Amino acid sequence: MIPQTQLIDTKQAWQIALANVVKDPKELLKQLGLTNKLTSIDGEIINKFPLRVPQNYINKMRVGDENDPLLRQVFPFIDEAEQVEGFVNDPVGDNLAISSPGILQKYHGRALLLTTGACAIHCRYCFRRHFPYGDSNPLAKQWQQTVQALNNDHHLNEVILSGGDPLVLTDNKLAKMVTDIEQIPHIKRLRIHTRLPIVLPERIDYFLLQWMKETRLNVIMVVHANHANEIDDAVEKALLDLREAGCQLLNQSVLLKGVNDDVESLVALSERLSDVSVMPYYLHLLDPVAGAGHFDVSDKKGIKLIDEIRKYLPGYLVPRLVREQQGEASKTPIN
Ligand SMILES: *Cc1c(COP(=O)(O)O)cnc(C)c1O
Ligand code: SF4
């Protein structure tokens, strides 16, 4: 057993990796031998949503390949300046669905908590890229009020920790939140929406596994990988540790032009997920967020791709193609 004081006094390895994420597009290009090959966007757009990518994630990119599917997800291409009709700042209407502070409730039985605005990586297609909450923790100030609201709503049986990425919070903070949620008798499930096991697998360490093993709640973790190349040995180890700790693992992806919009990539992703005991859950059609027009794949092509991959995969490895539509009672299935 590692003494508790160590948790308080020393930075955990993942916190060091998080502090050392690459933020300079030139540095990223240099590492990949792509200096002068690609131009990044500049000025206000990049300042508002800067490049941010963990070193381990860069290590999984192919050197010298400007079309690398991981690079495409994080590099602020000049295309972001292009204004595309229908691509707006709040495409899923989340700003409207905030009921109590920090709680987003759109669907029956489950409440989504915006635990933090911060992420380890900045995905250029992210629908939250224009959100006003910055790096702040929207829950910090009124946590008791949030717990009260969850306690008062007896229709709820599941709490979803989301963000940003909830796993950038310290284990002390997370364990405290989970302890408070556990006290609410009608809550059965704790769901965690996170990209960290994929982009910063160091995060899945002893301390995290410890509080996860101890909770009475049924823990479901929904990770986010878009391409098989994102899942290397370190990620595999993190995911297997989570499973051993009793966590059910699902994956959601976004269908992205130039990243995974072909049969081969989607089949390889599902196969790789299956290798590491993760079930494909959703394949999201892109939310039309301003600056992400260059990732757009049409509904028609999405449907065709799903029909194709069905021929190569067992049914349980075919993700559900969905879109988020304002005012609907669930994600909207597309085929
Ligand atoms: C996507 C989402 C959920 C989860 O939906 P499931 O279909 O249960 O995965 C819950 N709340 C909000 C606000 C969401 O956007
Ligand atoms: S990790 Fe998730 S929330 Fe964060 S930028 Fe990427 S897609 Fe958005």
**What CATH number corresponds to the domain at position 218?**
3.20.20.70
What 8-state DSSP symbol labels residue 197?
H
**d(C-alpha 48, C-alpha 275), whole Å:** 38
* Beta-sheet pairing, 320-323 with 248-254: unpaired
> Averaged over 14-24, what is the pLDDT?
97
Supply the pTM of this predicted model.
Answer: 0.95
Structural domain count of the chain:
1
Give the residue, out of 104, 106, 324, with the most ligand 1 atoms within 8 A of its beta carbon, to mutate for a pocket test. Answer: 106
Residue 73 lies in a domain: no
DSSP notation for 146-185: HHHHHHH-TT--EEEEESS-GGGS-HHHHHHHHHHHHT-T
Range of the domain at 97: 90-333
Residue 179 lies in a domain: yes
**d(C-alpha 41, C-alpha 318), whole Å:** 35
| Residue 237, ligand 1, Cβ within 6 A | no
* pLDDT, tens digit (0-9, with 9 covering 90-100), for 23-33: 999 999 999 99
* pLDDT, tens digit (0-9, with 9 covering 90-100), for 214-267: 999 999 999 999 999 999 999 999 999 999 999 999 999 999 999 999 999 999
> Averaged over 37-53, what is the pLDDT?
92
What 8-state DSSP symbol labels residue 103?
E
Residue 108 lies in a domain: yes
* pLDDT, tens digit (0-9, with 9 covering 90-100), for 194-209: 999 999 999 999 999 9
Query: How long a stretch of residues is the chain?
Result: 335
Residue 273 lies in a domain: yes
Residue 302 lies in a domain: yes
Q: Which two tokens stand for residue 65?
A: 């390949």
Is residue 101 over pLDDT 90? no
CA of 5 to the centre of ligand 2 (A): 32
Residue 56 lies in a domain: no
pLDDT (0 to 100) of residue 243: 98
Residue 42 lies in a domain: no
**d(C-alpha 61, C-alpha 59), whole Å:** 6
State what percent of residues in the chain have pLDDT above 70: 93
pLDDT (0 to 100) of residue 245: 97
CA of 152 to the centre of ligand 2 (A): 30
Cβ–Cβ under 8 Å, residues 202 and 17: yes
Q: Which ligand is nearest to the CA of 198?
A: 2
Backbone φ and ψ for 274, nearest 5 degrees, come out as -60, -40
Residue 170 lies in a domain: yes
